[in-house]
Amino acid sequence: MKTGFFAIGLAEWRQACGVGLNSAVAFLVLACGTGRDNQTTAWSANSVQEYGGIRWERAKPAIEQLLKAGLITLAESSTKARPRYKLNISEDRIWLPKNIVIPLAGEEPVVHRVRQTQDVMTLRLFVELYHAQNLAADGGISRDVYYRKYEKKVCRDVGSMVYLGFTDANTWVSWSTEVTKAHLGEDDNRGGPFFQRVSILQEMGLIQEAAYLFESASPDAEILFPVDGPDPEESSLNWIAQDLVGTNLPGGEALLEQHDYVLPVYRHQKSAELFGIFRMRLRAHTANTGAWHAGLKEKVSSARLMFEKSKV
């Protein structure tokens, strides 16, 4: 489904979260109602009540706190009966799909649902993961932030192909980015707050996971092809690979039982590594999203041809 998008400043978003949960929700809702400048909005307390689930009596003070913090100002065209606001927005921006505020048919507004966790840091993480996501380049959230690691074993050499087996080795988070540092726990529970909040967002269906094969473990490595995931193009390759290994490779069934994934690659791709890539379920129809879809189809097509060549 195509959906519009809006932008907020990263610095302003973090400041709004520092003001409080209701103000952070109000900031998001007001931003969703902006026009092309991503600053001027006619949305007010009524919109915050409708989409954020905050009663008008609490929505109005939340907006007033944003005014006091200097995150928004009254627009020149504002009147007491019809207030209009102008949001501050810095150059480092987070681009967000409007359907995180305006719900899809039959759904409750996402911002309302996340607010019900009553944890402003869960809301902050949800929004900032969009900042860490580059679909076209990474297939989702950057591996510099959060990913699933797989252990690799070279299972077979057959002609010009190498069969690689991959086994889940759990999820990993990097503390080198501001997106994750804010959720760093203390002492022996350093990762606890981050993983707890990510788990909540996954349980809410807001974060998806796909498995992507990269050229190597290097952060500069490119994606070879998807192996599994929620997109039909992604999951189709997993079924093809399983059938190929199970029916065409001697001892293939045993290999499939020993590993989560067994994949054929060309011999020169022996350094390939598999990663679980996380991405946000709700996506705006942007140029980046379009480039990801086009690249996905191309990579899947190339992988299918390679699988055909690997039949023994």
For residue 9, the one-letter residue type is G
How many other C-beta atoms can be found within 10 angstroms of the C-beta atom of residue 68? 12
Instruction: Note if the pTM is more than 0.95.
Output: no
Residues ≥6 apart with Cβ < 8 Å to 306: 264, 265, 266
| Contact (Cβ atoms closer than 8 angstroms) between residue 156 and residue 146 | no
CA angle, residues 51, 209, 271, in degrees to nearest 5: 150
Mean pLDDT of 83-106: 92
Q: Which has the closest alpha carbon to 201: 103, 125, 95?
A: 125
Helix 120-131 and helix 21-32, axial crossing angle in degrees, nearest 10: 40
Specify the DSSP element, H or E, that contains 86: strand 85-87
Would the pLDDT of 105 be above 80? no
Mean pLDDT of 28-52: 95
Give the 3-state secondary structure of residue 231. coil
Would the pLDDT of 186 be above 60? yes
Q: Which has the closest alpha carbon to 274: 172, 173, 168?
A: 168
Predicted pLDDT at 104: 77
Q: pLDDT by residue (tens digit) across 132-161?
A: 999 999 999 999 999 999 999 999 998 889
Residues ≥6 apart with Cβ < 8 Å to 290: none
Residues in the chain: 312
Q: Which has the closest alpha carbon to 88: 10, 195, 191, 2?
A: 10
Tokens of 130: 């969009």
Q: Indicate the domain borders of the chain.
A: 5-128, 133-309
Q: Which has the closest alpha carbon to 282: 142, 130, 134, 143?
A: 130
Mean pLDDT of 268-288: 93
Q: Which has the closest alpha carbon to 238: 229, 228, 248?
A: 228
Q: Which fold is adopted by the domain 5-128?
A: Arc Repressor Mutant, subunit A (1.10.10)
Predicted pLDDT at 1: 40
| Contact (Cβ atoms closer than 8 angstroms) between residue 99 and residue 110 | yes
Specify the DSSP element, H or E, that contains 248: helix 232-248
Q: List the single range of 1-5, 175-179, 213-217, 236-240 with lowest mean pLDDT.
A: 1-5
Mean pLDDT of the chain: 93
Tokens of 177: 């980015």
